Structure 1
Amino acid sequence: MNIAEIILIALSLAMDAFAVSVAAGTAGRLHPRAVFRLSFHFGLFQFMMPVLGWYAGSRVAHLVSAVDHWVAFGLLMFVGLRMIRGSLENPSEQIKKDPSRGLTLVVLSVATSIDALAVGFSLAMMNVGIWYPSIMIGVITSAMSLAGIRLGRVFGRRFGPRMEMTGGIILVAIGTRILIADLFF
């Protein structure tokens, strides 16, 4: 897997966190510490989930090596289509209380990073090392979350669903490329 694909995966996975960050930004002026907590935790969870998925995937990779390209394709397709579907649903209620504290922060962090677990599993199926992609995913998610909060203040919730759809389309395209490359090349 090349650097461009890793960056595209990282950008795609960051779209959920970006959309939530935009919503948080529209909720009102967040204190700088709240902005830091959101962007840090979204990045941290996006870093950890692929590692956990990769660890689980590496334990069973030898059992499914003959169909690993199908597994990677299926997982990326599932995650991508789920993101596309989510972008077409009615926008959720605007975040009304401080989303950077307590259980709300944990729930949002897990919810925006659960897709990264499946991507980590897919990376294990493809025999891709996990540390570099996970670090890239975490850093890019943190940066996009920070940008999302700031953009949320300016543009509101107008572009959040479009960003999530773009991320889903990118994941579907990468999954399709993996399948085609393994079947035909």
Structure 2
Amino acid sequence: MNPASLILLAFAMSTDAFAASIGRGAELRKVRLLSALRIGAVFGVVEAIMPLLGWALGHVAMRFVSGVDHWIAFVMLALLGGHMIWAGVKKEDCAAIKAAETQPENRSIWLIAFTALATSIDAMAVGITLALTDINIIAASVAIGLATALMVTLGTLLGRAIGTIVGKWAEILGGLILIGIGIAVLYEHLAGLASA
């Protein structure tokens, strides 16, 4: 995966957390920078760990699916991307995110971590997919974690000003990016077969 694709992947994976943080920021009367940084850091760490877990699971399964790994990667990324688009269009968030967004401003670190976990399940699925590709998983996980920390911090700070409508479009864009990456994985494999 080239650096541009890695950056796109990292930001695509952060869009659901970004959407949740915009919603949270929109509900707060006063957003403090330190609180936004703390929330961003927790989300970033959780989002960085999940692809590693998925990659480990995918790596174990790779010996069984190596002949069709490119198709699996394409289908999984397309399904994840489609789900993100659908969620953005339907504006349906999971119950954990909605519950976390209605909590008082001084939420505990555990509730923030739970919300981060709820928004990072897709990162674990992407980690499984990444095990089927030629990628440095550490670089990918760090990039995803940093992008998520940045996006959640910004989303929390800007949420009051820009409202929840941006969160919807961010999730749709993230879904489109994941589908595009899936198409690129499939194309690279099929183009490699054609030239061989």
1:103: how far off? Answer: 4.5
Structure 2 CA distance, aligned partners of 1:149 and 1:129?
Answer: 30
- Structure 1 residues 25-84: Cα deviation after superposition (integer angstroms, max 9, x where no partner): 111123444323311111011100000001111111121110010111111111101100
Structure 1 CA distance, aligned partners of 2:19 and 2:172?
Answer: 10
User: What is the Cα-based RMSD across aligned positions, in Å?
Assistant: 1.7
Structure 2 CA distance, aligned partners of 1:100 and 1:55?
Answer: 32
Corresponding residue number in structure 2 for 1:128:
135
Is 138-147 or 105-114 further displaced after alignment?
Answer: 105-114
Gaps of 5+ in 2: none
Structure 2 CA distance, aligned partners of 1:128 and 1:90?
Answer: 32
Q: What amino acid sits opposite 2:114 in the alignment?
A: V
**Equivalent residue in structure 1 for 2:102, among 72, 75, 96:** 96
Runs (4+) of structure 1 exceeding 4 A deviation are: 91-94
Corresponding residue number in structure 2 for 1:27:
27
Is the contact between residue 83 and residue 167 of structure 1 (CA under 8 Å) also seen in structure 2? yes
Change in Cα spacing, 1:33 to 1:50, as seen in structure 2 (3 Å) is same
**TM-score of the pair, normalised by structure 1:** 0.93
Change in Cα spacing, 1:167 to 1:43, as seen in structure 2 (3 Å) is same
Sequence identity percentage: 35
Report how many aligned residue pairs link the two structures. Answer: 185
Change in Cα spacing, 1:41 to 1:100, as seen in structure 2 (3 Å) is farther
Corresponding residue number in structure 2 for 1:43:
44
1:118: how far off? Answer: 1.0
Is 27-36 or 166-175 further displaced after alignment?
Answer: 27-36
Q: What amino acid sits opposite 2:136 in the alignment?
A: G
Corresponding residue number in structure 1 for 2:10:
10
Change in Cα spacing, 1:102 to 1:150, as seen in structure 2 (3 Å) is closer
**TM-score of the pair, normalised by structure 2:** 0.88
Gaps of 5+ in 1: none
Is the contact between residue 77 and residue 171 of structure 1 (CA under 8 Å) also seen in structure 2? yes
Structure 2 CA distance, aligned partners of 1:99 and 1:72?
Answer: 40
- Structure 1 residues 8-29: Cα deviation after superposition (integer angstroms, max 9, x where no partner): 0001000001001101111112
Q: What amino acid sits opposite 1:47 in the alignment?
A: A
Is the contact between residue 69 and residue 125 of structure 1 (CA under 8 Å) also seen in structure 2? yes
Corresponding residue number in structure 2 for 1:58:
59
Change in Cα spacing, 1:5 to 1:100, as seen in structure 2 (3 Å) is farther
